[in-house]
Amino acid sequence: MICLYCHGKIIAELNLLNMFSKPERICESCHLKLTEWRSGVRCGRCHKIMAPGEKECTDCIFIRSRFKPVRSIRCLLDYNSEVKMMMHRYKFVRDVALAEVMAGFIDIKEWQYDHIVPIPVSKHRLGERGFNQIKEVLKRSGTAYTELLATDKVKLQSELSKSERINSDNPFSFDTGQKDDKILDKRILIVDDIYTTGITVHHAAETIMQRNPASVDVLTFSKA
């Protein structure tokens, strides 16, 4: 087997524990690098590394002042230097094969949700990149999803300052043809690639909450 991240050879001894399991996507060395979390005191909700003297997460304070809170926020990986490099290769170098690597970290319990909703990308961004980076990972992990939302937003979040992100308008609307009863009293999981300030996922949640779901949770591939 070849590691899908570093392309080195994966050496694994066959035993009763792994005989009937799926083969590993990446080698042990790459797994350790990608799953390392940077040290520091973290916010118990959004998992941000707190600044020295920061007693309460300022990002979460703002989110509470602006949005109705989602039920929970979970991040699969930290945005360490290796994950940052992987995300760059995946999204901007268009190394779509890395979706297979990230799919190996997906552990969504689908029975807990009625709809798993990926953050959409605009037609312009889809044409430029060639794929929706969230949908591609969900597909490769075998996770069923529902496209409830649409957007015309062109500018990348990474191109905006923190102030611009905080003051941006909600870019999401319901996808054409979606009916109210598809969300009413349903359990929703919103999936995004990177949680930075939380504005994107909370804008998405704000749109979905207009139709009175039972609950809204957030899952992101990494926490910046």
Per-residue confidence band for 128, with pLDDT thresholds at 50, 70 and 90: confident
Res 158: pLDDT: 60
The secondary element (H helix, E strand) that includes residue 215 is strand 215-223
Per-residue confidence band for 156, with pLDDT thresholds at 50, 70 and 90: low
Average pLDDT, the chain: 90
User: Which of 78-87, 124-133, 214-223 shows the lowest per-residue confidence on average (mean pLDDT)?
Assistant: 124-133
- Convert the pLDDT of each residue in 183-196 to its tens digit: 999 999 999 999 99
Res 115: pLDDT: 96
Res 13: pLDDT: 66
Res 176: pLDDT: 72
pLDDT at 83 over 90: yes
Report d(CA 42, CA 56) in Å as an integer. 10
Report d(CA 124, CA 105) in Å as an integer. 29
Res 175: pLDDT: 79
And the tokens for 224? 């910046």
Q: What is the mean pLDDT of residues 98-113?
A: 95
Report d(CA 179, CA 189) in Å as an integer. 18
Place of tokens 């969230």: 134
